Structure 1
Amino acid sequence: MSTPSTVSLIVHGHFYQPPRENPWTDEVEQQPSAAPHHDWNQRITAECYAPNGWARLLDHEGRIVKLVNNYAGISFDVGPTLFRWLERKAPETVRRIIEGDRDSVARCGGHGNALAHPYVHAILPLADSKDRATLVKWGIVEFRSRFGREPEGMWLPETGVDLATLELLSDYGIRYTVLAPWQATRVRPLGEEQWHELGSDWIDPSRPYTCRLPHGGTIDLFFYDAALSRAIAFDGLLQGADRLADRLVEVSHSSPSRLHILCTDGESYGHHSKFGERALAVLLAKETAPKELAVTNFGAYLASAPPTHEVVIRDGSAWSCAHGLGRWKEDCGCSTGGQPGWRQRWRVPFREAINGLRDDLQHLFTEQADRLFTDVWAARDDYIALILDRSNPSVEKFFGAHARRSLSLQDRAAALQLLEMQRHALLMQSSDGWFFSDISDIEAAQNLKHAARALELASAFVTVSLEAKFLARLQTAKSNISSERDGRRIWEVRVGTARVDLAHPVALYAMRSLVENLPEPYHVHSFDLHRLSLEHFPLINGTMIVGGIEVSSSLTMERKEFGFVLKWLDADGMSGCLFPWGGEEDLKRWLEAFEGQVKGLSLPGYSQATPISLKMLSPEERREILMALYRGWDVFRKRYDELAARTQGLLRAFFDEGLSPPEALRAPAEFTVTRNLEESLRQWLSDGGTDLYRSLLMLADEVKRLDLPQQEHLQDLLSRAFGMRVRRLCECPDLDGLRGVQEVVDLADRMGYAMDRPESVALMYELLTHDVPPLIERVLQAESRDECNLVSAVLRLGERFGFSTGRLRQRLRPIEERLAADPGLWP
């Protein structure tokens, strides 16, 4: 096929974050540095991943004229470990990403924007052949489960490449990948014998190339335009809505190239550059781009312009290291952050320690899993099916395909523990651990946590200490920070505090049961808990609970039964213990022994008891438990209500005189208003009612007057209520439904809460673009004043959200004028 006559543009975003989950709980813990958000995944989602799904295209007055799904316009990949988090925590953003790929498939002749990605962001040329194959296969299966199609291309982590990796991609049906222009060594036209040696020059990135592989196959390669890509980050092309589009228009006119490829971290669009997604939206909407500049994707371009040249790659190279792959294995000089004089000599022993542990764990897996699976490596490759779906039918299907025989529950648990051991052995190879300046950085510590979890799972199958061997290697990885010392010290300080055993969720269950009735069964983190027994005993100024719990890991089927006794006294705090479950009669003996112990006696013969303490929990969980106890303290609430009522006149006088009241005077009012607002808001959202709404407006005024900090959970409540009411209005458009929407918006305004979250703005956009136009046509035909008023009110609401409604108002104007001029149509 001939080369396209237009100038083609491919913009690729590599969306990825390092894994942040605690390997024991499978949850991301609170990260104060990401404030006001819970963690960095949540913050970057708010700044980048979600806004790119609903990027705002603005007019010259700054009003929204269109919401653009950037994922439908750009080429992109999403790291599978990040995608897994997004699926659980930001499902609407995931839906938008998948819709974007689906739209691109329809628009680009069956070629989608999304590229696959190996399951872990590991440098594939540094992985051994078995791990490399598993990572690629898991990435393909994960992609297929997300997008419902086979991937044509795969983005390589850090574009780390060698011929063995390319051959593997080709074997698994991957047609192309993308590299940096300095990752090629020579090139020639197809059919010619003479090679052109590139030397220090970079390859021409304006065409695709074919690369011949050692075993006779081929794979197609694209090389991105380094200068244009670098300009995204360093020339400020995203700082201003039109700058990116204008630069690309200029390039398309001045350059003879018919293809331009921009590749950057996807986080450039919104996280690294605020509102960068809007600059991308301008480009994709072609508001300023000429018709001869066509935005496309890699698969569609290959279909229209197959390679005419072949290339030889620079074996063992990457896009972010000038020394090949040194950044992930040696002190090559590449690093990010750090202080003058810092070196990265720690990388060599750290890589050796991780690789040595990988080999030990593979040997153990082969030895132990062989008694359970017909083919241990085929079972590991297929384990991605359980990672994506841990339902009982999925588990049955997996064991039906791979088990040597019908496995007992104990053998199934052993099999899953071995497979989870291997999953963490892959995660500990994430490239982030070597990328930055020091082994004490959080990314290296995260790799160590995955190594620790893998070793913990391995310990059930070996008598020798693999951990001692690993730590001896790790001790030679010296930190640049004297207080951090070395990898072993970091392991002891950072990893030990992250460990969570089966007692953790039981202790959390018991503490939560002090203040609330938990459902049966109960799921927390990656654990399932089933109640064996539970009794509450009210005490003077406190409470005591006694019970039993069966806890199991939903990942590994590890299972244990615990009994517990826990007491809370308002004056003395918390005391209690966990112990092996021995039935109801044994539980009574524990209760009697505990009551004696708290009076100064010891627990006779019960050496297996574990004291229950808030220290068993994460800082976030501790705060949650203490806040629940605080909210449940009725005496405290009553006293503060009395104080707030008695001091409201004095407090008002301070405010009326423009003076700041003392904290002791403010505190009762703040407590009472915050609690009443939350309770009233929940009740109003559930039951409605004019009187309750008026009360809420008054409380909102108090919140503003007291200058109370905003509460994320109240923002969530308002956003959910807005969503429900807008959807109800779309289903049945009438003035009552619109009034319900306006009430939520008015209340949010009164409280100072912004309603411009991407999902809320998207709902307004859907209302204005899909529901209002047919309603206007109905008004024009029926000449209904009520429906005309409804449409006018919806347009005013849209304007409150920043939308340009000029075109819709222009369409409505004739009937508004007719209704105003004809007295017979007046109400």
Structure 2
Amino acid sequence: MNMPATISVIIHGHFYQPPRENPWTDEVEQQSSAAPAHDWNERIAAECYTPNGWARLLDHEGRIVSLVNNYAGMSFDIGPTLFRWLERKAPETARRMIEGDRDSMVRYGGHGNALAHPYVHAILPLTHSTDRVTMITWGIAEFRSRFGREPEGMWLPETGVDLSTLMLLREYGIRYAVLAPWQATRFRALDGDRWHELGSNWIDPSRPYRCRLPHGSAIDLFFYDAGLSRAIAFEGLLQGTDRLAGRLAEVSRHSSSRLHILCTDGESYGHHTRLGERALAALWANESASKEFTVTNFGAYLASAPPMHEVVIREGSAWSCAHGLGRWKEDCGCSTGGQPGWRQAWRAPFREAIDGLRSDLHRLFAEQAGRLFTDVWAARNDYITVLLDRSHPSMEQFFSAHSRRPLSTRDRAAALRLLEMQRHALLMQSSDGWFFSDISDIEAVQNLKHAARALDLASAFAPPHLEARFVARLQTAKSNLPAERDGRRIWDVRVRPARVDLARSAALYAMRSLAANLPDPYRTHTFDIQRLSFERLPLMNGTMLVGGIDVCSFLTFERKEFGFVLKWSNADGMRGFLFPWRGQEDLRRRQETFEDQVEGASSPRDTEATPIAFTILSEDDRQEVLMTLYGGWEALRKRYEELATYSQGLLRAFWDAGLSPPDALRIPAEFIVARNLEESMQQWRSDGGAALYRSLLLLADDAKRLNLPQREPVRRLLAHAFEMRLSRLRERPDPDSLREVQEVIDLAERLGYAVDQPESVVLMYEFFTRDVVPMVERIAQTESMEECDLASAILRLGDRFGLSTERLRQRLRPIEERLAADPGLWP
């Protein structure tokens, strides 16, 4: 065995967020507690996941020396629910993670930094054995599709472990896992007979161990250094760029251990500790210059130092509960958040309710899917191929492999409903639902929403008492908050209203059509919509829509046809109805009935018609529909423009006098300036032009006088204009292209927007790395005065983005001095 030459350090980040999507729409809805971000995924991505892809390594003056991909240096795992969101909403960050693993493969001889993770962050020892298999196999398939390789290790949620779980990991090709040091009971040398009982002591985490499993197999285990890991999470080791590197250097000098493993939530690096990602960037730089320790990963360390000791694990244990697995099934005393005196007696009935529903859904799946699939559990395990690729060939391959017989469209829809039911039955077991202080917390409510979605999908096959039995169990789960009462009330008040069926999607389509001509076919959330009939009738003070549509879920092939009559009046608002589609003649009859009702005439009550109202939509959808309607109000815009023009002289008189104008003067001006600013920037972004730019500068001055709040559309327009002009500068480096870039920056600063936004800094850093450094080296050879002047101006531009330019300046300085001393070049 070749032991590592120096002290080895492994830093592992467990990156995870619970599923936050509405289970019916597959979209994350607004979470006010995450403000100013839209939701917690978006906020933590901005604070942690993205900054770790481009972590700033700073010099002693606080200027950026380089942007470091921390995912290339640290060991990490990413929960599949989070990675799926990143791929959809922050694809560049997801790409950076994949690149980091690929770079580590090169650096560490084929051993990548990334570990796999079960598909659901459930406590595996508490799950049913068939669910455990599915979660592990889906997690491996997700990892393979993301990283393009087989995983060597797997991170266990909350490091929850038992022998059955380890046996499954090994069966599916996983070589190692990571545990807390108190999750072992005894150890011995591999070639020894005498066991060392640990009792209340923790195992030595400075070496890997082999855990022998029943039936002759074995898996290797690492145990992390609890002291160093806690220092990252709770003792400020990330506060400042040199504290982490300094502590590890000190430990390396004074410790006899050859291996130190630090494991924390990945969110420690930037979210829990602001700018904590910079401590990692500084560590990699320190490690490359230090002979005291070497950063590695688990696979590479195992290759150089395989286990010499055997270990026996503590059955049913985890890293965040001192009572085994009590935190996820009983009132053990462990909790996060809450108030003094709160208890978690709700956990046991909540666990019983979820487990009971899981068993009911298992039986239903086995019975109903057994008519369609040759092996229902094999089909469920392989359903991940459809989740990763819903293309027609992928779907055909799945059904060809698992169907008992050729399935009709109706049978396929039933099969997909049953499989989606099982997916949500897995997601409702996410550990977050029990981790915190109360059953009313958003994590427990999210689990309940997945349970509700599973029950909706089961409703076509299940007896009606299935939901009633589940809700009755929930009633015994008492909240600490008197207003929340119990799980049943939470179900009625916070879960039922979140349900989105085909009818709600049809209503959303009708409301969106009031102010926009939607394409045909049209996709919204998880539904595809095709027109059967559509007519827009202009009214004196509004619009009436009369139509029919076919709504189909692209997840389950559920479909239904609807007709609708919807009226929007600028004076009275919206009124309309949704009803089953029965053809054009029935639609006309319903239109006439609706018009009679609007005019006050009596008509028989239509029991099949459902009112269309904003209240049935999510907050995000309500906002989007209403803002679209508002955006179409040209009359309002003209009125404000008239008011702003009429009062312009008086408004400026207030400004010139140093006084704050009254609201009646200020508000119309704010509206017009904000609108003109966005419209002018839209035009200037693509067309450019000196006259338009001067107009923008004047608008920026007005916006500053009005103290206009910063607007996201303006920020996006500035970012896009900067990206376009920087791209032109890279293609054609000349003074004109440089001036265009400087104009964007000057405008941003005049408007009060920060120019050194993370995405812009990344673009500028890449420009310097790939283009400016070679340009300076070329100038050193050619001593071109024109290029030297251009490069100097570009370096000044880099200063505005906080880049360290001193090394390049030093390279140019002798050339500038020689050129300045040449009389032939003087003007």
TM-score by length of 2: 0.98
- Matches of 1:42 and 1:385 in 2, distance apart? 27
Residue of structure 2 equivalent to 1:296 = 296
Are the counterparts in 2 of residues 10 and 75 from structure 1 also a CA contact under 8 Å? yes
Greater mean deviation of Cα atoms: 540-549 or 471-480:
540-549
Residue identity in the other structure for 2:510: A
Residue of structure 2 equivalent to 1:372 = 372
Secondary structure in structure 1 of the residue aligned to 2:548: strand
Secondary structure in structure 2 of the residue aligned to 1:723: helix
Matching of residues 388-399 of structure 1 within 5 Å: 388-399=388-399
Secondary structure in structure 1 of the residue aligned to 2:567: strand
Residue of structure 1 equivalent to 2:778 = 778
Once the two structures are superposed, residues 503-546 of structure 1 have per-residue CA deviations (whole angstroms, 9 ceiling, x without a partner) of 22222222222112222322221111222332222221212222
Residue of structure 1 equivalent to 2:813 = 813
Residue of structure 2 equivalent to 1:550 = 550
1:250 and 2:239 are equivalent in the alignment: no
CA change 1:605–1:67 in 2 (3 A) is same
Deviation at 1:156, TM superposition (A): 0.3
Deviation at 1:287, TM superposition (A): 6.6
CA change 1:220–1:816 in 2 (3 A) is same
Matching of residues 426-437 of structure 1 within 5 Å: 426-437=426-437
- Matches of 1:756 and 1:563 in 2, distance apart? 51
Once the two structures are superposed, residues 270-311 of structure 1 have per-residue CA deviations (whole angstroms, 9 ceiling, x without a partner) of 000000001111001227962231011000000011001010
- Matches of 2:736 and 2:603 in 1, distance apart? 65
1:475 and 2:502 are equivalent in the alignment: no
- Matches of 1:348 and 1:532 in 2, distance apart? 50
Residue of structure 1 equivalent to 2:510 = 510
Residue of structure 2 equivalent to 1:579 = 579
Consecutive aligned runs of 4 or more in structure 1 exceeding 4 Å deviation: 602-605
Residue of structure 2 equivalent to 1:637 = 637
Matching of residues 97-116 of structure 1 within 5 Å: 97-116=97-116
Residue of structure 1 equivalent to 2:327 = 327
CA change 1:3–1:505 in 2 (3 A) is same
Secondary structure in structure 2 of the residue aligned to 1:546: strand
Unaligned runs of 5+ in 1: none
1:238 and 2:234 are equivalent in the alignment: no
Are the counterparts in 2 of residues 245 and 288 from structure 1 also a CA contact under 8 Å? no
Are the counterparts in 1 of residues 287 and 294 from structure 2 also a CA contact under 8 Å? no
- Matches of 2:604 and 2:610 in 1, distance apart? 14
Residue of structure 2 equivalent to 1:187 = 187
Residue identity in the other structure for 1:779: I
Matching of residues 350-361 of structure 1 within 5 Å: 350-361=350-361
Are the counterparts in 2 of residues 245 and 289 from structure 1 also a CA contact under 8 Å? no
- Matches of 1:681 and 1:374 in 2, distance apart? 60
Are the counterparts in 2 of residues 246 and 289 from structure 1 also a CA contact under 8 Å? no
Residue of structure 2 equivalent to 1:144 = 144
CA change 1:556–1:740 in 2 (3 A) is farther
Greater mean deviation of Cα atoms: 512-521 or 51-60:
512-521
Deviation at 1:825, TM superposition (A): 4.2
Residue of structure 1 equivalent to 2:668 = 668
Once the two structures are superposed, residues 381-416 of structure 1 have per-residue CA deviations (whole angstroms, 9 ceiling, x without a partner) of 011111112222221221122222222211111111
Matching of residues 410-559 of structure 1 within 5 Å: 410-559=410-559
Greater mean deviation of Cα atoms: 402-411 or 815-824:
815-824
Secondary structure in structure 2 of the residue aligned to 1:571: coil
Residue identity in the other structure for 1:795: L
- Matches of 1:695 and 1:215 in 2, distance apart? 78
Are the counterparts in 1 of residues 550 and 559 from structure 2 also a CA contact under 8 Å? yes
- Matches of 1:257 and 1:218 in 2, distance apart? 25
Greater mean deviation of Cα atoms: 784-793 or 374-383:
784-793
Residue of structure 1 equivalent to 2:225 = 225
Residue of structure 1 equivalent to 2:118 = 118
Are the counterparts in 2 of residues 417 and 556 from structure 1 also a CA contact under 8 Å? yes
Greater mean deviation of Cα atoms: 497-506 or 448-457:
497-506
Are the counterparts in 1 of residues 685 and 720 from structure 2 also a CA contact under 8 Å? no
Are the counterparts in 2 of residues 534 and 545 from structure 1 also a CA contact under 8 Å? yes
Are the counterparts in 1 of residues 87 and 94 from structure 2 also a CA contact under 8 Å? yes
Once the two structures are superposed, residues 93-127 of structure 1 have per-residue CA deviations (whole angstroms, 9 ceiling, x without a partner) of 00111110000000000000000000000000000
Secondary structure in structure 1 of the residue aligned to 2:100: helix
CA change 1:724–1:381 in 2 (3 A) is farther
Residue identity in the other structure for 2:327: R
Q: Between Structure 1 and Structure 2, how many residues are aligned?
A: 827
Deviation at 1:603, TM superposition (A): 5.2
Residue of structure 2 equivalent to 1:621 = 621
Residue of structure 2 equivalent to 1:723 = 723
Deviation at 1:235, TM superposition (A): 1.4
Greater mean deviation of Cα atoms: 528-537 or 249-258:
528-537
Deviation at 1:589, TM superposition (A): 2.6
Are the counterparts in 2 of residues 249 and 289 from structure 1 also a CA contact under 8 Å? no
- Matches of 2:785 and 2:531 in 1, distance apart? 60
Deviation at 1:446, TM superposition (A): 0.6
Deviation at 1:784, TM superposition (A): 3.3
Are the counterparts in 2 of residues 282 and 288 from structure 1 also a CA contact under 8 Å? no
- Matches of 1:731 and 1:271 in 2, distance apart? 37
1:337 and 2:340 are equivalent in the alignment: no
Q: Report percent identity of matched pairs.
A: 75
Are the counterparts in 1 of residues 566 and 575 from structure 2 also a CA contact under 8 Å? yes
CA change 1:522–1:816 in 2 (3 A) is farther
Deviation at 1:602, TM superposition (A): 4.8
Greater mean deviation of Cα atoms: 288-297 or 253-262:
288-297
Deviation at 1:723, TM superposition (A): 2.5
Unaligned runs of 5+ in 2: none
Residue of structure 1 equivalent to 2:768 = 768
CA change 1:793–1:7 in 2 (3 A) is same
Matching of residues 616-765 of structure 1 within 5 Å: 616-765=616-765
- Matches of 1:724 and 1:428 in 2, distance apart? 45
Secondary structure in structure 1 of the residue aligned to 2:679: helix
Are the counterparts in 2 of residues 246 and 288 from structure 1 also a CA contact under 8 Å? no
Deviation at 1:604, TM superposition (A): 4.3
Once the two structures are superposed, residues 245-275 of structure 1 have per-residue CA deviations (whole angstroms, 9 ceiling, x without a partner) of 1111111111111110000000000000000
- Matches of 2:762 and 2:291 in 1, distance apart? 28
CA change 1:755–1:419 in 2 (3 A) is farther
Once the two structures are superposed, residues 693-742 of structure 1 have per-residue CA deviations (whole angstroms, 9 ceiling, x without a partner) of 22122212222221111112322232233223323433343333333322
- Matches of 1:408 and 1:208 in 2, distance apart? 53
Residue of structure 2 equivalent to 1:134 = 134
Are the counterparts in 2 of residues 283 and 289 from structure 1 also a CA contact under 8 Å? no
- Matches of 1:90 and 1:603 in 2, distance apart? 53
Residue identity in the other structure for 1:273: T
Greater mean deviation of Cα atoms: 548-557 or 238-247:
548-557
- Matches of 1:747 and 1:557 in 2, distance apart? 50
Deviation at 1:437, TM superposition (A): 1.0
Are the counterparts in 2 of residues 68 and 285 from structure 1 also a CA contact under 8 Å? no
Residue of structure 2 equivalent to 1:274 = 274
Residue identity in the other structure for 1:671: F
Deviation at 1:219, TM superposition (A): 0.4
